[in-house]
């Protein structure tokens, strides 16, 4: 089996509830982008010689969760919450969905954040 994954920059909607439950809907604009991705993926596979009758589209999956404590919304640009010295440093602080693999951005943010913590909180 050969698979292609179409990733989109989805709309900034969704909720995390205090009991840990997550609600994330697919908006009309998300659906349009996904449909476009499916169309392009099908075209690539058919041009590569795949029998169109053998194509299958899987259900939608959330691949890179993040943005639940977005910068300039829940944390500031120093990744600090409204509670002094309480910081967030992971994919939660992305201000918007990247629509691309996030690990390099998470590493870059973490390096920036750890330098700040080391210089401001772990002196001497």
Ligand X SMILES: Cc1cc2nc3c(=O)[nH]c(=O)nc-3n(C[C@H](O)[C@H](O)[C@H](O)COP(=O)(O)OP(=O)(O)OC[C@H]3O[C@@H](n4cnc5c(N)ncnc54)[C@H](O)[C@@H]3O)c2cc1C
Hey, which residues between 19 and 38 contact ligand X (CB under 6 A)? none
Supply φ then ψ for residue 68, to 5 degrees: -75, -15
Stretch that binds ligand X, among 10-18, 24-32, 38-46, 97-105 (CB under 6 A): 97-105
Report the residue from 88, 102, 109, 113 that binds ligand X according to the rule CB under 6 A. 102
With 0-12 / 13-18 / 19 or more C-beta atoms within 10 angstroms meaning exposed / middle / buried, residue 11 is: middle
Q: Does 90 bind ligand X (CB under 6 A)?
A: yes
Q: Pick the closer one to ligand X by CB: 12 or 35.
A: 12
Q: Does 64 bind ligand X (CB under 6 A)?
A: yes
Query: What would the DSSP string read from start to end of 11-45?
Result: -S--EE-TTS-EE-PPPHHHHHHHHHHHHHHHHHH
Give the interface size with ligand X as a residue count (CB under 6 A): 7
Q: Does 91 bind ligand X (CB under 6 A)?
A: yes
How far is residue 79's CA from residue 76's CA, in Å, rounded to a whole number? Answer: 5
Stretch that binds ligand X, among 22-30, 36-44, 52-60, 101-109 (CB under 6 A): 101-109
Give the count of beta carbons closer than 10 Å to the beta carbon of residue 101. Answer: 11
**How many whole angstroms from its chain centre is CA 103?**
10
Hey, which residues between 105 and 124 contact ligand X (CB under 6 A)? 106
Binding site for ligand X (CB under 6 A): 64, 90-91, 101-103, 106
């Amino acid at each position: 089996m050969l698979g292609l994954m179409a990733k989109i920059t989805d709309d900034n909607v969704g909720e995390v509830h205090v009991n840990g439950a997550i609600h994330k809907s697919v908006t009309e604009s998300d659906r349009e982008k996904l449909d476009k991705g499916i169309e392009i993926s099908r075209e690539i596979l058919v041009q590569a010689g795949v029998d169109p009758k053998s194509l299958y589209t899987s259900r939608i999956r959330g691949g890179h969760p993040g943005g639940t404590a977005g910068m300039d919304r829940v944390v500031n640009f120093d990744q600090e919450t409204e509670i002094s010295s309480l910081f967030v440093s992971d994919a939660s602080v992305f201000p918007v969905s990247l629509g691309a693999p996030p690990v390099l951005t998470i590493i870059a943010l973490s390096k920036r954040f750890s330098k700040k913590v080391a210089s401001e909180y772990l002196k001497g």
